């Protein structure tokens, strides 16, 4: 990989959560069968929350050791800014761009980033002192953290159940991929693959999607999960740019999913 690629990816991480959402890929570890599961525990009360209530329920600073919690930046301001060439696939695009996947009464979102461990010896050198191989390794190591966008959205009536079904149906119906347009930029996703859900909440579905990053890096891998808790939908979208740079597999950040599920209960 050339140095320009590492710099470009670093800028993507710093500037736009939406850009991360459009750099997508699938995991070879997922089954071809859609996997949905419930926690088996008693369901939470089917309450429709206000935006203020959701902000108290979503993960916040101090809730999870080893993570920084920040406002999600760079996401579309309205759902009209995110379109797909196949309408049934649109809920998946929403789940990957910090938007409620359905017609929600209220919604909120945050981004959790793993705190980086102490740098390696090569990472402590100036970039000018690094050999080409060291530069690549240093860039990958610096970005080898999970960044997860978490969204909570609340629905009236059967809205949450219908929204969850639209996501589950899209995972199955959009397996051949689809094209997302956001901010005037198009991104072709070539495959959507069902993965094992966390089993939190009343029902959950996880998926990964495939798309080209650039000519040098080829395809990448990102993961998402959607969970229904009564009338509330939680969405999770995890990206690890270090893993993408080195073509190493990674998964949805289960630590974040578990912590958020506990806070909703």
Contact assessment for residue 207 and residue 11, using Cβ atoms and an 8 Å cutoff: no
Which tens digit of pLDDT belongs to each residue from 195-242?
999 999 999 999 998 887 666 656 777 899 999 999 999 999 998 888
Tell me how far apart the alpha carbons of residues 110 and 72 are, in angstroms, rounded to a whole number: 5
54 versus 41: which is more confidently predicted?
A: 54
Label residue 58 exposed, middle or buried (CB < 10 Å: 0-12, 13-18, 19+): buried
pLDDT bin (cut points 50, 70, 90) of residue 139 is low
Contact of 139 with 6, CB cutoff 8 Å: yes
The pLDDT mean for the chain works out to 78
SS3 assignment, position 10? helix
3-state secondary structure of 91: helix
Q: What is the pLDDT of residue 5?
A: 36
Domain that holds residue 95: 3-264
CATH code, domain with 93 = 3.40.1000.70
Would you state the pLDDT for residue 171?
97
Between 247 and 162, where is the model more confident? 162
Instruction: Give the residue-averaged pLDDT of 9-37.
Output: 37
Total domains in the fold of the chain: 1
Give the separation between CA 158 and CA 164, rounded to whole angstroms.
10
Instruction: Give the residue-averaged pLDDT of 246-264.
Output: 92
């Amino acid at each position: 990989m050339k140095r320009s690629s590492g710099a470009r990816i670093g800028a993507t991480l710093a500037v736009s959560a939406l850009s991360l959402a459009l750099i997508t890929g699938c995991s070879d570890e997922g089954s071809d069968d859609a996997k949905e599961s419930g926690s088996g525990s008693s369901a939470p009360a089917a309450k429709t929350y206000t935006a203020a209530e959701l902000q108290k329920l979503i993960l916040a600073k101090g809730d999870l050791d080893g993570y920084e919690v920040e406002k999600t930046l760079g996401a579309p301001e309205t759902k009209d800014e995110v379109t797909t060439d196949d309408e049934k696939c649109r809920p998946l695009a929403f789940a990957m761009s910090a938007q409620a996947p359905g017609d929600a009464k209220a919604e909120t979102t945050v981004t959790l980033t793993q705190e980086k461990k102490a740098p390696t010896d090569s990472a402590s050198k100036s970039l000018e002192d690094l050999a080409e191989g060291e530069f690549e390794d240093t860039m990958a190591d610096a970005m080898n953290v999970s960044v997860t966008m978490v969204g909570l959205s609340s629905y009236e009536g059967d809205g949450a159940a219908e929204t969850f079904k639209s996501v589950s149906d899209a995972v199955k119906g959009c397996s051949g991929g689809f094209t997302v347009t956001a901010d005037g930029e198009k991104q072709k996703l070539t495959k959507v693959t069902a993965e094992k859900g966390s089993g939190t909440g009343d029902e959950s579905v996880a998926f990964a999607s495939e798309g080209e990053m650039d000519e040098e890096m080829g395809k990448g891998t990102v993961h998402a999960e959607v969970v229904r808790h009564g009338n509330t939908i939680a969405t999770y979208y995890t990206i690890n740019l270090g893993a993408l740079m080195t073509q190493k597999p990674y998964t949805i950040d289960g630590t974040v999913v578990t912590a958020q599920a506990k806070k909703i209960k």
